[in-house]
Structure 1
Amino acid sequence: MADIPNKARVVIIGGGVIGCSTAYHLAKQGWTDIVLLERKQLTSGTTWHAAGLIAQLRATANMTKLAKYSQELYGDLEAETGVATGFKRCGSITVALTDERKEEIYRQAAMARAFGVEAEEIDPSEVKQRYEHLNIDGVVGGVYLPLDGQGDPANIALALAKGARLKGAKVIERTKAVSVAREGRRITAVNWENEAGESGTIETDHVVNCGGMWGREVGKMLNTNVPLQACEHFYIVTEAIQGLTQQPVLRVPDECAYYKEDAGKMLLGAFEPVSKVWALDGIPKDFEFDQLPEDFDHFEPILEAACERMPMLAEAGIHTFFNGPESFTPDDAYHLGLAPEMDNVWVAAGFNSIGIQSAGGAGHALAAWMDTGEKPFDLGDVDISRMQPFQGNKTYLAERSTETLGLLYADHFPFLQKKTARGIRRTPFHHHMLEHGGVMGEIAGWERANWFANEGQEAKYDYTWKRQSFFGNVAAEHNAVRTNVGMYDMSSFGKIRVEGRDAEAFLNYVGGGDYSCPVGKIVYTQFLNHSGGIESDVTVTRLSETAYLVVTPAATRLADQTWMMRHVGDFNVVITDVTAGEAVLAVMGPNSRELLQKVSPADFSNEVNPFGTAQEIELGMGMARVHRVTYVGELGWEVYVSSDMAGHVFETLHAAGQDMDLKLCGMHMMDTLRMEKGYRHFGHDITAEDHVMEAGLGFAVKKDKSDFMGREAVLKKAETGLENRLVQFKLTDPEPLLYHNEPIVRDGEIVGYLSSGGYGHHVGAAVGMGYVPCKGEKIADMLASTYEIDVMGTRVRAEASTKPIYDPKSERVKV
């Protein structure tokens, strides 16, 4: 019988670099009963053939923090374990062949500085100085990161595995997890079989799915949804090239190519625009260190361009033409964290060709989360709970995955929409939006009108880093809501019904607000963690003595519902997703009351329906419920109507608004309006690591409640004072555009970065928000400083305010 224990604190399934890192970091946390099961041999899935590029800079501050951690770890592992990792800091260069790409990478360089990553914008001649073999014809600029590097993927994984073993973990090869025992929302045991024909059971407290391209299959065994799909990934390795010495890692994303010097040979890899999905009917059972069939025709266009870009390739012989599988997720972000469907199943999988550079940080973060039960910092970018149940659909994954591999090197334009696997979730107003020129975007599978095309205007995106084709359209929609009346579809927002005899008490525990309120009252609120960070940003409407409606952002409905379900405890409540049951039209603007009065006999006055209350009404020949709230800073109502009456309500409101110049509006308009008003956006301005007080949302917390999650952290912060404040900025120059992550410069020094940014069409300039350190300072001291925002390397003066730039006293929403 194999030396496998019958009990373990954790069973890790999968022995690639991610599984080895998870075992290593849990052992570092002091966990001793760790078992890692690998079906074949360590690294035999994807890790062994990875290119081993190790970059520091990622799209967000926390993902960058994890990538930097990986680098530092790999630099030290060899001394700790005696296993050579091949890690070296050779630097990296990314070059642009178009002005649009140049703006993208220069904005990334500015962002890097805000994240504490050394980065330098370089011109074509400087690119040539640092990479003499490169043909710089057509190169318009580059970015150099001196501390980027490369490593030996398999040895990094083996070093992590040895480090885990040295700390007491059991790493067991040629042993497959074949089934599990489950009680409710917990896995209680993992059943295994090995190649010698032996079998057994491990009782366990936790299971971690590090199955790589098998992650979806392992997820099903564990009763969890892990959307990912294997795709073919191609590279070539040349014969030895005389005189070739160590070079920086080179990326030419406009030609879908990356280059890495390795022991005097050159590796050329590709992220082609339309990728090849692999193993739709399942990965072969005997897969181990396998290569996939060559497809030279598929790779040839990349190679032809590369021979022009790197002339030495045309002379060098090809030593290896390699095709191997890698797993890709629907949004090109990996999956990490506690699976929503279960309470002790964790996921670390789907690394989209960045597994080596991500593994150290991902293992570190996951181990910390598992050890304390709370995220060590915001991991919303990669939290598995962002994935919707339908995204595990095989047909969906097959179609979406043809695009996601190529998106790694595509232009990352603002507002870029995925082209594949669209049209899956449609609101009851979908066809109405299209009929009136709606240009659709997608979030969490929902098709939503982002803006409306004018008559004769092409209803499609025309991407650029400058003012996009819809800039004027959004300005007109923005102006309509500020000065008259606009209507837009909010049906995609999550709706979660919380009901039962303990509904009031439960919400008073899980949320920071006061839910001991009259029927019809709407409470804007946050669900807090024990650190006072914001797990959810929602409105809660009391529908009856025993029922409430929690309204969430579309993308976080599952996460928010899961958060509540995990904290039900002994409360007698039922929590139900009712999102698809009701459609929602937002009617907003100074003339919104007039429009509603035209279609309903109900009283919409302040006396009957003040701000923050809901009422049941007749509308046209149907029924609806109106919530007087706003995310745009104007008088307005959200009209909730059962899906069967949605078409009638839209047609009634739209017809009644024709003589009022009612304007149909999209999601981009809502975002620009909320930024002028300083309304926070969950996932950008407020996250699990942003303290509710520092986010400026202390007003939404009822601090004198006897017991609610996060209470001690809120009271402590009130006593000790704020260390950061969320500040709103408006550029003094009306021309530059802000998106997010631009560095905030205070009195000449970078002190933070914008959490969100957009154009304030009413205030006439770009606006944004971001956290500024303020320990021991009064607001007046903060605002007395000189502020600039770094836009693509140019510092632009900005006005700063801790109150909303637009309507600071919120008088317009209450008229």
Structure 2
Amino acid sequence: MPDLPSAARVVIIGGGISGCSVAYHLAELGWTDIVLLERKQLTSGTTWHAAGLVGQLQSTQNRTRLAKYSADLYMRLEAETGLATGFRQCGSMTVALSTERREEILRLAGMARAFGVEVHELTPSEVGAMHPHLNLDGVVAGVHLPKDGQADPGNVALALAKGARMRGARIVENVKVSTVTTAGGRVTGVDWQSGEESGHIAAEHVVNCGGMWGRDLAARNGVTVPLHACEHFYIVTETIPELQRLPVLRVPEECAYFKEDAGKILLGAFEPVAKPWGMDGIREDFCFDQLPEDFDHFEPILEKAIHRMPMLAEAGIHTFFNGPESFTPDDRYYLGEAPELRGYWVAAGYNSIGIASSGGAGMALARWMTDGAPPFDLWEVDVRRAQPFQKNRRYLRERVSETLGLLYADHFPYRQMASSRGIRRSPLHEHLKARGAVFGEVAGWERANWFADAGQPAEYRYTWGRANWFDNQRAEHMALREGVGLLDMTSFGKIRVEGRDALAVLQTLCANDMDVAAGRIVYTQMLNARGGIESDLTVTRLSETAFLLVVPGATLQRDLNWLRRHLGDAAAVVTDVSSGEAVLPLMGPKARDLMALVSPDDFSNGAFPFGTAREIEIGMGLARAHRVSYVGELGWELYVPTEQAAHVFETLVEAGTEVGLRLCGLHAMDSCRIERAFRHFGHDITDEDHVLEAGLGFAVRTGKGDFIGRDAILKVRETGLSRRLMQFRLTDPEALLYHGEPILRDGKVVGHVTSGNYGHALGGAIGLGYVPCSPGETGAEMLASTYAIDIAGRLCPADASLAPLYDPRSERVKL
């Protein structure tokens, strides 16, 4: 019988590199009573056959921070544990074969500089000098990251396991967790089996590090962990005489990576259309298994690889390998506590970057479990971003056939997924489609991003330059600025908080004052104890005991989770009512004129001031009109019962011909909001960003009494700011901003652009980004500096501002 305790503080399920990292870091933080259970043997799922690449640069600053931590950890593990990890910093190199890919990798190099990663841009001849076996045919540029590396994945995991054991963790193989037990909405432990033996371990916390088993394991408890296994192929050559040590080489346009190891070359592939695996489940005895060879599937990659590295034509193939790895719908892994079940944690779904990510992910999760909050903003990998419908198996099977290939596809701005689409649709979807809407997807919602003109193909054509919809966006943008535009924002998350204690709950959670009259709308943030922004929302008081919270569709699960976990024993109920109403923002200087054509109600400033909501008649139906704006113009958001949405839309469109109504998409809304310097949650404001640093002090009321984050606000007011969110306008009207571009102050990199778009009314690209400052530094002193933005290695001068560059006194929303 296995030597297992009857109780532990935490049980970790899965003995791959992820589970071993979590155990190691919890033990490092002083946790005792740690038990890790592995169904077969350590590393026997995916870890053992991973390629072992350790790239430090990821798509965002905090994912890069985690990957850099992994590299540092693997470098010191051998000295600490006595087990060799095989880690060496051989560097990595990515080459571009087109001008578009050159733009991408040079922008990535700029991000690396902003994130503190050493990077060097290479000419084709410099690429050849660094990798002499490479055929330079078509190579136009390269980038080199000298501190990237490679490691032996299995040995790294075993070293982490040994480090955990050295600090008292118990790691047991050949024990399968059959059930995670629960009571009262939280975990209570696990039931386990080992051969004919079985038992129970009581535990406060359970961590699902189940890899490709993670989805089904989570589903048994109603927890959403959307991932699915795909086949991943590589070959290993015979020993090549006198092969020198080489950096890891990526040729993304040919879907290939090359790794030199012990005198051999490993060639791996991320083909455009992958092969999902395990649709009928994973057999019980799966352990260190390979999948059947499929040379026909791999052959197109191999042909291009031989052309790129001719020496492969003479090298024999020692190993043709096919093994399963888990992928997620958005190519980002899952970390954090599941919103459905307290004490149920997840670290899984690494999308073939598990070796590079698991060291940092294990550290971050351990600190999150210890402190009750993540060590820094981890929203992009937070398990709460997963939508419940995404655990659907057919959805996952179709989506991951695309996401594997997207790892090496062009990462164009605004690129949309092609698979598993049309799942969540507004009641107006077909109306918009018939009028030229081109849709994007967020959290499964189909949203009209722009509208094609008559005769124009209603499709994206991706580029780093001005997109095929740039002029469409301009026309929609200017309609919102000068005329009137109609959008569909049904994807908003809508939450009712009601009950005797609803006001008290919201006063505790929100930084602004919620004790307002019925019909008033309050813009506010929900903060954490550090003053960081957990949610950015509007709250409408519907009655003495009922409030409507409107949040981004992408954060709905996160926001519901935050509210419910802070209810305590309050007499209040939190209900997701998102599907009950469509939302039609009608925005622009002529919005009042159009409303007068479709409704007998009074929309004058005196009768219907900014920041109020009330029921109106519209057409032959009823709606609730909210006078707010995310574009910075006069307008109303119309909340319409779902079954009346088509009627209200048709009424507005028919009457709109008289005032020049234009249908507008989300791209135009975003370009308007960034001109007005409205913040975007997840980019400009996160749980790591202090509400005062973000320039949102106007939405804070410390005098109302205690609330979460109040002490942190008072402290910063006393000590002063250490950084401020600034707005930038490029002086070159042709340059474009997206996000991640380095910000230079007086010639020195000080930060990066958090979000960017083109400001059509302001005549240039607009970006937001944080700039460090000394506590006593005034705004005038910050603005006295010279600013520039690094775009693919080109420094573009920028005008900086602390006030919105468009309508700084907020006069237009109150016309």
The alignment's TM-score, normalised by the length of structure 1, stands at 1.00
Q: Deviations over 1:282-321 (max 9, x none)?
A: 0111000000000000000000000000001110000000
1:365-514 matches, cutoff 5 A? 365-514=364-513
Separation in structure 2 between the aligned mates of residue 548 and residue 603 of structure 1, nearest angstrom: 24
Superposition CA RMSD, Å: 0.6
Asked if the contact 1:187/1:222 (under 8 Å) is kept, the reply is no
Q: Counterpart in 1 of 2:169?
A: 169
Asked if the contact 1:495/1:549 (under 8 Å) is kept, the reply is yes
Asked if the contact 2:273/2:401 (under 8 Å) is kept, the reply is yes
Q: Counterpart in 2 of 1:537?
A: 536
Asked if the contact 2:497/2:547 (under 8 Å) is kept, the reply is yes
Q: Secondary structure at the match of 2:298?
A: helix
Deviation at 1:184, TM superposition (A): 2.2
Separation in structure 2 between the aligned mates of residue 259 and residue 745 of structure 1, nearest angstrom: 35
Q: Counterpart in 2 of 1:301?
A: 300
Asked if the contact 1:581/1:643 (under 8 Å) is kept, the reply is yes
1:726-765 matches, cutoff 5 A? 726-765=725-764
Separation in structure 2 between the aligned mates of residue 659 and residue 11 of structure 1, nearest angstrom: 66
Deviation at 1:677, TM superposition (A): 0.3
Q: Counterpart in 2 of 1:789?
A: 789
**Does structure 1 residue 272 correspond to structure 2 residue 271?**
yes
Q: Secondary structure at the match of 2:178?
A: strand
Asked if the contact 1:35/1:170 (under 8 Å) is kept, the reply is yes
Separation in structure 1 between the aligned mates of residue 2 and residue 734 of structure 2, nearest angstrom: 69
Structure 2 counterpart of 1:448, one-letter code: R
Q: Counterpart in 2 of 1:103?
A: 103
Q: Counterpart in 2 of 1:262?
A: 261
Q: Deviations over 1:77-122 (max 9, x none)?
A: 0000000000000010000011100000000001100000011111
Separation in structure 1 between the aligned mates of residue 688 and residue 696 of structure 2, nearest angstrom: 14
Structure 2 counterpart of 1:273, one-letter code: P
1:792-803 matches, cutoff 5 A? 792-803=792-803
Q: Counterpart in 2 of 1:29?
A: 29
1:76-225 matches, cutoff 5 A? 76-195=76-195, 197-225=196-224
Deviation at 1:607, TM superposition (A): 1.2
Q: Counterpart in 1 of 2:805?
A: 805
Separation in structure 2 between the aligned mates of residue 674 and residue 51 of structure 1, nearest angstrom: 43
Separation in structure 1 between the aligned mates of residue 179 and residue 270 of structure 2, nearest angstrom: 36
**Does structure 1 residue 779 correspond to structure 2 residue 773?**
no
Q: Deviations over 1:416-441 (max 9, x none)?
A: 00000000000011011101100000
Separation in structure 2 between the aligned mates of residue 264 and residue 153 of structure 1, nearest angstrom: 18
**Does structure 1 residue 3 correspond to structure 2 residue 36?**
no
Asked if the contact 1:495/1:579 (under 8 Å) is kept, the reply is yes
Separation in structure 2 between the aligned mates of residue 640 and residue 217 of structure 1, nearest angstrom: 38
Q: Counterpart in 2 of 1:239?
A: 238
Separation in structure 2 between the aligned mates of residue 459 and residue 82 of structure 1, nearest angstrom: 60
Q: Deviations over 1:731-754 (max 9, x none)?
A: 111111000110000001000001
Separation in structure 2 between the aligned mates of residue 803 and residue 23 of structure 1, nearest angstrom: 47
Deviation at 1:182, TM superposition (A): 1.1
The alignment's TM-score, normalised by the length of structure 2, stands at 1.00
Q: Counterpart in 2 of 1:335?
A: 334
Deviation at 1:386, TM superposition (A): 0.2
Q: Deviations over 1:384-439 (max 9, x none)?
A: 00000000001100110110100000000000000000000000110111011000
Separation in structure 1 between the aligned mates of residue 638 and residue 78 of structure 2, nearest angstrom: 61
Structure 2 counterpart of 1:15, one-letter code: G
Asked if the contact 1:499/1:575 (under 8 Å) is kept, the reply is yes
Q: Secondary structure at the match of 1:461?
A: coil
Asked if the contact 2:610/2:814 (under 8 Å) is kept, the reply is yes
Q: Counterpart in 2 of 1:670?
A: 669
Separation in structure 2 between the aligned mates of residue 209 and residue 91 of structure 1, nearest angstrom: 32
Separation in structure 1 between the aligned mates of residue 178 and residue 732 of structure 2, nearest angstrom: 62
Q: Counterpart in 2 of 1:72?
A: 72
Deviation at 1:200, TM superposition (A): 1.1
Separation in structure 2 between the aligned mates of residue 418 and residue 181 of structure 1, nearest angstrom: 37
Q: Deviations over 1:652-694 (max 9, x none)?
A: 0010001211000000001000000000000000000000000
Asked if the contact 1:520/1:613 (under 8 Å) is kept, the reply is yes
Structure 2 counterpart of 1:390, one-letter code: F
Separation in structure 2 between the aligned mates of residue 380 and residue 581 of structure 1, nearest angstrom: 27
Separation in structure 1 between the aligned mates of residue 571 and residue 716 of structure 2, nearest angstrom: 32
Q: Counterpart in 2 of 1:642?
A: 641
Asked if the contact 1:425/1:447 (under 8 Å) is kept, the reply is yes
Separation in structure 2 between the aligned mates of residue 706 and residue 659 of structure 1, nearest angstrom: 50
> How many correspondences in the alignment?
814
Separation in structure 2 between the aligned mates of residue 181 and residue 341 of structure 1, nearest angstrom: 14
Deviation at 1:582, TM superposition (A): 0.1
Q: Counterpart in 1 of 2:56?
A: 56
Deviation at 1:699, TM superposition (A): 0.7
Q: Secondary structure at the match of 1:685?
A: coil
Asked if the contact 1:335/1:384 (under 8 Å) is kept, the reply is yes
Separation in structure 1 between the aligned mates of residue 272 and residue 555 of structure 2, nearest angstrom: 29
Asked if the contact 1:8/1:33 (under 8 Å) is kept, the reply is yes
- Gaps in structure 2 of 5+ consecutive residues: none
Q: Counterpart in 1 of 2:716?
A: 717
Deviation at 1:343, TM superposition (A): 1.0
Separation in structure 2 between the aligned mates of residue 543 and residue 597 of structure 1, nearest angstrom: 24
Q: Secondary structure at the match of 2:157?
A: helix
Q: Deviations over 1:561-596 (max 9, x none)?
A: 111001001211111111110001000000001101
Separation in structure 2 between the aligned mates of residue 237 and residue 294 of structure 1, nearest angstrom: 14
Q: Counterpart in 2 of 1:570?
A: 569
Deviation at 1:605, TM superposition (A): 1.1
Structure 1 counterpart of 2:112, one-letter code: A
Q: Secondary structure at the match of 1:204?
A: strand
Deviation at 1:222, TM superposition (A): 3.5
Asked if the contact 2:10/2:204 (under 8 Å) is kept, the reply is yes
Q: Deviations over 1:140-183 (max 9, x none)?
A: 10001011000000000000000000000000000000113210
Structure 1 counterpart of 2:285, one-letter code: D
Deviation at 1:223, TM superposition (A): 3.0
Q: Secondary structure at the match of 2:614?
A: strand
Separation in structure 1 between the aligned mates of residue 503 and residue 431 of structure 2, nearest angstrom: 38
Structure 1 counterpart of 2:435, one-letter code: H
Q: Deviations over 1:355-396 (max 9, x none)?
A: 000010000000000001011100011000000000000110
Deviation at 1:716, TM superposition (A): 0.6
Q: Counterpart in 1 of 2:351?
A: 352
Separation in structure 2 between the aligned mates of residue 156 and residue 334 of structure 1, nearest angstrom: 20
Q: Counterpart in 2 of 1:47?
A: 47
Deviation at 1:706, TM superposition (A): 1.5
Asked if the contact 2:189/2:205 (under 8 Å) is kept, the reply is no
Q: Counterpart in 2 of 1:311?
A: 310
Separation in structure 2 between the aligned mates of residue 71 and residue 5 of structure 1, nearest angstrom: 34
Deviation at 1:466, TM superposition (A): 0.2
Q: Deviations over 1:483-541 (max 9, x none)?
A: 01000001001001111111111100011111100000000000000000000000000
Structure 2 counterpart of 1:124, one-letter code: P
- Gaps in structure 1 of 5+ consecutive residues: none
Asked if the contact 1:525/1:700 (under 8 Å) is kept, the reply is yes
Separation in structure 2 between the aligned mates of residue 430 and residue 229 of structure 1, nearest angstrom: 29
Q: Deviations over 1:28-49 (max 9, x none)?
A: 1100110000000000000000
Q: What is the aligned-residue identity percentage? A: 65
Structure 2 counterpart of 1:270, one-letter code: A
Q: Counterpart in 2 of 1:15?
A: 15
Asked if the contact 1:222/1:345 (under 8 Å) is kept, the reply is no
Q: Counterpart in 1 of 2:614?
A: 615
Q: Deviations over 1:603-656 (max 9, x none)?
A: 111112110000100000000000000000000000010001000000000100
Q: Counterpart in 1 of 2:249?
A: 250
Structure 1 counterpart of 2:42, one-letter code: L
**Does structure 1 residue 38 correspond to structure 2 residue 34?**
no
Separation in structure 2 between the aligned mates of residue 123 and residue 314 of structure 1, nearest angstrom: 26
Q: Secondary structure at the match of 1:425?
A: coil
